[in-house]
Structure 1
Amino acid sequence: MQKILFIDRDGTIIEENNKNYQIDSIEKVKFYPRVISYLSKILNELDYEFIMVSNQDGLGTNKFPENKFWPIHNNILSVLESEGIFFKYIHIDKSFKNEKSNNRKPNIGMLYEYLNNKLSYNIKDSFVIGDRLTDVLLANNLGCKSIWIKKNNDHYENFTEEEKVYYSNLDKEILNKTIKLKTDNWKEIYKYLKYKRKKRLVYKRITLETNVEISLCIYGNGKYNINTGIGFFDHLLEQISVHSLMDINIKIIGDNNIDEHHIVEDCGITFGKIFNKLLYKKGIERYGFYILPMDDCLSKVVIDLGGREQLSWKAKFYREKIGNVSTEMFYHFFKSFSSSAKCNIHIDSTGINEHHKIESIFKCFSRAIKMAIKKNYTNKIFSSKGLL
C-alpha cells in the first residue's frame, strides 16, 4: 500500500507572506531553505507519494483573483518539476474560515478518497507536513502522523491570539501522539523519514517444546542480548548481530534437557519469520554475497531475498559436536531460516578447524545479509515481476 506525504504549500514549501497571507505576485515567492533538494531526495530515495493540500482563503474573490494565483502557482510547480519533484494530486480549498467548509483544513472533505481506498493507501504510516496548527489537526483527523514545520522552530510564540486559545483547549495527549517531529529544517525532515525505518519488531513463538522471543531491528547498530541456553550457539548468533549491524535480542526457554535440536530449529524458524516481516522489499539491493577467510578456513555465502526458499549447503564437518551444538544442526538452522524468511542461501566452506569453519560461515552470512538489505535509494524492486 502506498504511503503519502500530504504537504502544505505556503510556509512549508515556500515562505509564508505575513502581510496578507497571499502569494499574489512573483516577488513574494521564496522557497523554504533547501526544500527543493530534500523533497527531491525524499521522492527518489524513499517510498512516499506527494499530495499537496493547501487553504487559499477567498481564492477567486475580488481580493484574491484567480488570475493572480494560478500563474504563480504553476511557476512554483514548474520549478519543482524541473528538479524531478511531482505531486500526484493537488487539493486547494478556496473557502474562508467562517464558512466552515468540510474541505478546508483541518477538515478532510478533499481527502476522503484516500481514506476510503484502504487497499491502495497506507494512511496510518503517512504524514502531513505543514507549518500551521491546522496541518497538525488534519493529520489527527486523517489518522496519520504530523511533521510540524515552523520558521525558527517556534511552535507557539508565533500563534495568533485565537490560535493560542484554541491550542490551550486541545487534548495535548492527542497532539503528542500525532506530532512525530518539530523542526524548521528540511534536512531533518528527510533524515527522520529515512531513518524511521529503523523500527524494531518483537515476535514470539511458543510450542510444547520451546518458548522463543526475538526482538529485531534490521537497520541497527550491532547491539545484542542473546540467551538460548546453549553457549556456543549464543556465540554464533552474536556474530550475526556484530557483522550485519542488526540489533538482536533472543531469549529461548526450551527442552535442552533432551538435546539442542528444538532450540536451534525453532530459533531459525522464528528468526526467519521476524526478518521477513521487517524486510522492506522496495529500495534494497536484494542480493548479497561475501567471502571470508578465518585462518585455515575459507567460507562463501550468497543470499537472494527474492521470496523463494532454497538452501544449498556445501560444508562438511568431521566432529560430531562443536562446543555443545551438534554439527548437523548448523545445516538445520540455515534451512529453517531460509524457509521462514523465504530466501535463497548458498553456503560453501572449506578448512580444517571446525570451530573456525562454522564461525566464518555465520560471519559470511551476516555480511551477505548486510549487503542484501542495503538501501539502493531508487525505491524500486529489483525484479522484472515487480514484486518479491
Structure 2
Amino acid sequence: MKKVLFIDRDGTMIKETADEQIDAFEKMIFYPKAFTYLGKIAKELDYELVMITNQDGLGTDSFPEDTFWPVHNFIIKSFENEGVTFNKVFLDRTFPHENADTRKPGTGLLTEYFSKEYDLSNSFVIGDRLTDMELAKNLGSQGIFINDETNLGTGEITVDRGALNDIIALENNDWERIYEFLKLKDRVSEISRKTNETDIYIKLNLDGTGISNIDTGLAFFDHMLDQLARHGQMDLDITVKGDLDVDEHHTIEDTAIALGEVFAMALGNKLGIERYGFCLPMDDCLAQVAIDFGGRNWLVWETGFKREMIGKLPTEMFQHFFKSFTDGAKSNLNIKAEGQNEHHKIEAIFKAFAKAIKMAVKRDVEKMVLPSTKGIL
C-alpha cells in the first residue's frame, strides 16, 4: 500500500502573504531548507508527494489566472529541478467557499485515495492551518502542523489536540525537522500476552520522554520498571494480572518475556541504531550493563545478593527477569554489580540497563544503515 504526503503550498512551501495571493514573482519567497529536505524526503522515503492548495477566487477579477499560473508553474518546476516531483497537484478555487467539499478540509478532490491501494493511516497532511489538520482527520491520516510566526496570512491558530488525533505540532516551519520526524518516526509497539498464569498488556514508545504507567501487582517490581522508562527516556505502559496467590515467579518471568518481545517489535529493521550500549554508580554500588540488540539471546550475570528478598521480590528472580528479557528481545546482556546495599544494587542495575538501552536504540538520521557486517540482525 502506498503512503502519501499531502502538502499545502502557501505557508508551507512558500511564505504566505498578507493578501493570501501569490500572484507576482516579487511576492514569492521559498522557505529555508525546503528544497534540500523535500529533496531528501523524495529520494530517501517511500511517500507519494501530493500538493493540495486552496486558491480562493482564482479566475476572478481580483485574482486573475494570468498572474497566478506563471508563478505557480515556476514553483513546480523549481522543485522538480531539485528532484521533488508531485504525483498530483490539486487546486481548489471555490469562491465563495461555504460548504464546498472540494475545498480543504473537504476531501472532494482526493476521492481516489480512499482505496485499498493507499495506506492513509500512515500518510500525512503537512500544512500551516487548522483546515489542513482537519483534512488529515477527514482522510484518516496523521497531521504535521507548522506555524511560522512571520506567516502574515494565518493569524492566531490553535490546534485542538483533544479533537484531532495524531497531530504533530512544530513551532516553526523547519523542513529539516519535518524530514527527521518522517525518517525517524516514533518506534511504537504493543503486545498482549495471555496464558493460564498471566494476562499481560505492554505498550512501548522507544522515542518517548519517560512517561510510565505500570501495574504488575508487585510494588518493587513496578518501581524498577519505572526506572527503565524514566532513565531510558521511553514511554512504557504495563498492566499485568498474574497468579500472585501462587507466587511472583510467573508474573516476573512472563512480563520479562513480553517486554523483550515488544522491544524486538519496536526496533523493527534496526536501521541506524547504535546497537550497543552503561556503567553508573549509586551510592555504595557500581553497576555495569552492556547490551547488544544483535538478534541472539545470551545473559552474563555477575552479581550476588546477601538478602533473600527486596521488598516482596526474591532476589533470585532478578537474574531470571533479565534472562527472560534476552530471550524475548533476542539480545545479549552482560550485567555486573558490586556494593553493600542490596536495594541500591538492583536499582543501579535497572538504571544502567535503561541507559544501556537508550544508547543502543539511538539513531542517526544521516546514517540509516544496519550496524552489522552480516547484513541482518
| TM-score (norm: length of structure 2) | 0.70
- Which whole-Å deviations, capped at 9, do the CAs of 1:230-274 have from their partners, x for residues lacking one? 444344333323321334344433233333211110110222233
Which residue does 1:180 correspond to in 2?
A: 167
Size of the aligned set, in residue pairs, is 356
Whether 1:377 aligns to 2:365 is yes
- Whole-Å separation in 1 of the counterparts to 2:170 and 2:103: 24
Give, as a single letter, the amino acid of the residue that structure 2 aligns with 1:63.
D
| TM-score (norm: length of structure 1) | 0.68
Which residue does 1:75 correspond to in 2?
A: 78
Give, as a single letter, the amino acid of the residue that structure 1 aligns with 2:313.
V
Give, as a single letter, the amino acid of the residue that structure 1 aligns with 2:49.
I
Which residue does 1:340 correspond to in 2?
A: 328
Q: How far has the Cα of 1:311 moved from its partner?
A: 1.7
SS at match of 2:120: coil
SS at match of 1:266: helix
Is the Cα–Cα contact under 8 Å of residues 214 and 250 in structure 1 kept in the other structure?
A: yes
1:186-205 alignment, distance < 5 Å? 186-187=173-174, 190=177, 194=181, 203-205=191-193
Which residue does 1:6 correspond to in 2?
A: 6
Is the Cα–Cα contact under 8 Å of residues 49 and 86 in structure 2 kept in the other structure?
A: yes
- Counterpart among 256, 271, 279 of residue 268 in structure 1: 256
Is the Cα–Cα contact under 8 Å of residues 290 and 302 in structure 1 kept in the other structure?
A: yes
Which residue does 2:155 correspond to in 1?
A: 154
Is the Cα–Cα contact under 8 Å of residues 4 and 50 in structure 2 kept in the other structure?
A: no
- Counterpart among 141, 145, 153 of residue 144 in structure 1: 141
- Which whole-Å deviations, capped at 9, do the CAs of 1:32-84 have from their partners, x for residues lacking one? 4x46399569949x9674714145867xx983697775445423555xx3xxx
- Counterpart among 76, 80, 86 of residue 89 in structure 1: 86
Give, as a single letter, the amino acid of the residue that structure 2 aligns with 1:368.
A
1:6-45 alignment, distance < 5 Å? 6-16=6-16, 21=21, 23=23, 25-32=24-31, 34=32, 36=34, 39=37, 43=41
- Which whole-Å deviations, capped at 9, do the CAs of 1:142-165 have from their partners, x for residues lacking one? 431344667454379xxxxxxxxx
Distance 1:224 1:95, change over 3 A: closer
Is the Cα–Cα contact under 8 Å of residues 49 and 87 in structure 1 kept in the other structure?
A: no
Q: How far has the Cα of 1:304 moved from its partner?
A: 2.6
Distance 1:109 1:20, change over 3 A: closer
1:111-260 alignment, distance < 5 Å? 112=112, 115-118=115-118, 122-130=119-127, 135=132, 139-140=136-137, 142-147=139-144, 151-152=151-152, 153-154=154-155, 176-177=163-164, 180=167, 185-187=172-174, 190=177, 194=181, 203-260=191-248
Whether 1:63 aligns to 2:66 is yes
SS at match of 2:66: coil
SS at match of 1:359: helix
Is the Cα–Cα contact under 8 Å of residues 240 and 362 in structure 1 kept in the other structure?
A: yes
SS at match of 1:370: helix
Whether 1:361 aligns to 2:349 is yes
- Whole-Å separation in 1 of the counterparts to 2:190 and 2:166: 24
Give, as a single letter, the amino acid of the residue that structure 1 aligns with 2:34.
I
Gaps of 5+ in 2: 96-100
Is the Cα–Cα contact under 8 Å of residues 257 and 325 in structure 2 kept in the other structure?
A: yes
- Which whole-Å deviations, capped at 9, do the CAs of 1:174-222 have from their partners, x for residues lacking one? x944783678831499479849956876644332222334454433443
**Cα RMSD, aligned residues only:** 4.9
Distance 1:231 1:178, change over 3 A: closer
- Whole-Å separation in 2 of the counterparts to 1:179 and 1:155: 21
Give, as a single letter, the amino acid of the residue that structure 1 aligns with 2:357.
I
SS at match of 1:9: coil
- Which whole-Å deviations, capped at 9, do the CAs of 1:356-387 have from their partners, x for residues lacking one? 54433322211101112223223724246776
Q: How far has the Cα of 1:104 moved from its partner?
A: 9.0
Identity %: 33
